[in-house]
Amino acid sequence: MQIFIFSKKNLFFSFFIICIISIILFSSLSFAANFYNTNISPSNFTEDISNITKQKEKIAYLTFDDGPSLVTPKILDILGNENVKASFFVIGKYVEAHPEIVKRAYEEGHYIANHTYSHNNSILYKSSESFVNEVKRTDLLIGEAIGVEGYCSLIFRFPNGFMSPKYKRQKKEAVNLLSQMNYAYIDWNCLNNDSVKKYSPSQLLDNLKQSSKNKDTLVILMHDTKDVSNSSLALEDSIEYLKSQGYSFRNFYSLVDDLK
Ligand SMILES: [Zn+2]
């Protein structure tokens, strides 16, 4: 059995094989470690995101749009007290204004997702370049705020939502651009209508009760902006209500973590 004889030649060959295996292992480990700061996202992720509300489990994904603002820290305090992790769809120009708030949200375990740089549809849909720039610039600013170079948020939400009839044709084109950049987009299936800006905290809670009725997995739209700050006043009661209805809370890390 010549093969088991440790000649110099065999030793060199074994060393060579070990080196190759180490290089392969090391590369795959660094791929995993760098997942958040690359543009790589396995294709089933987009599918998981679009099917999220079809799950039959009682899970609530709280999402806050249009921040960060001075209301965001109040929301973070409540989420912390309630031990709930949420997802924030941030606007790039406000990330620029309040990077420390985004950093705090990220460090407290909340998911930071992309909601364009300007939230201005006429700039966003001016051209393909403009759309791509709005997305990438926002992730760049998030990365700078949280100290993660090359941060890729992977999840995008259209201003006014994909489902709204505004800019329908442009949004369909934008979906292709998002998929080329390996982003998934998501709307919501439950809301308290805080953006209408006329409801008291107790009315917001009633709206949420109505909107969540007979639904299993909820993706809930709220806003963490100054002019819609009543959502922060209704938040504690809203979380307590959802808990009493048997919902557990998750953020989008639960989907991203499945990929690792
Ligand atoms: Zn928005």
pLDDT 10s digit of each residue in the chain, 260 long?
444 444 556 656 666 666 565 555 554 443 333 345 444 455 677 888 888 999 999 999 999 999 999 999 999 999 999 999 999 999 999 999 999 999 999 999 999 999 999 999 999 999 999 999 999 999 999 999 999 999 999 999 999 999 999 999 999 999 999 999 999 999 999 999 999 988 999 999 999 999 999 999 999 999 999 777 677 889 999 999 999 999 999 999 988 865 54
State the CB neighbour count (10 A cutoff) for residue 86.
28
Q: For residue 171, which phi and psi values (nearest 5 degrees)?
A: -70, -35
What is the sign of the dihedral through the CA atoms of 180, 93, 158 and 230?
Answer: positive
> For position 1, what pLDDT does the model report?
42
C-alpha span between 47 and 38 (Å, rounded): 19
Instruction: Give the pLDDT of residue 10.
Output: 65
* Distance in Å, CA 191 to ligand 1 centroid: 13
Among residues 107, 49, 65, the alpha carbon closest in space to that of 228 is found at: 65
Q: Which residues contact 140 (CB under 8 A, 6 or more apart)?
A: 151
Please state the domain extents for the chain. 44-253
The predicted model scores a pTM of 0.84
Q: What is the pLDDT of residue 33?
A: 34
CA distance 136 to 171: 17
Confidence (pLDDT) at 83: 97
| DSSP output for the chain | -GGGS--HHHHHHHHHHHHHHHHHHHHHHHHHHTGGGSS---THHHHHHHTGGG--S-EEEEEEES--STTHHHHHHHHHHHT---EEEE-HHHHHH-HHHHHHHHHTT-EEEE--SS--HHHHTS-HHHHHHHHHHHHHHHHHHHT-TT----EE--TT-TTSSTTHHHHHHHHHHHHHTT-EE---SEE--GGG----HHHHHHHHHHHHTT-SSEEEEEE-SGGGTHHHHHHHHHHHHHHHTT-EE--THHHHHHT-
The pair of structure tokens assigned to 134 is: 């709005």
Q: Distance of alpha carbon 205 from its chain centroid, rounded?
A: 24
First to last CA, the chain: 42
Q: What is the pLDDT of residue 13?
A: 62
Q: How far is the CA of 147 from the centre of ligand 1 (A)?
A: 24
pLDDT of residue 76: 97
Residue 2: per-residue pLDDT: 45
Cα of 135 from ligand 1 centre, angstroms: 14
CATH code, residues 44-253: 3.20.20.370
Residue 193: the pLDDT is 94
Centre of ligand 1 to C-alpha 28, Å, is 37
Distance of CA 253 to the CA centre of its chain: 7
**What's the gap in Å between 235 CA and the centre of ligand 1?**
18
Distance 104 CA to ligand 1 centre (A): 21
- Measured in angstroms, how far is the CA atom of residue 17 from the centroid of ligand 1? 54
Ligand 1 centroid to Cα of residue 9, in Å, is: 66
Q: Is the omega angle on the peptide bond into residue 68 within 30 degrees of 0, that is, cis? A: yes
CA 93 – ligand 1 centroid, Å: 13
Rounded Cα gap, residues 259 and 159, in angstroms: 27
Q: Are the CB atoms for 147 and 104 separated by under 8 Å?
A: no
Model pLDDT, residue 35: 42
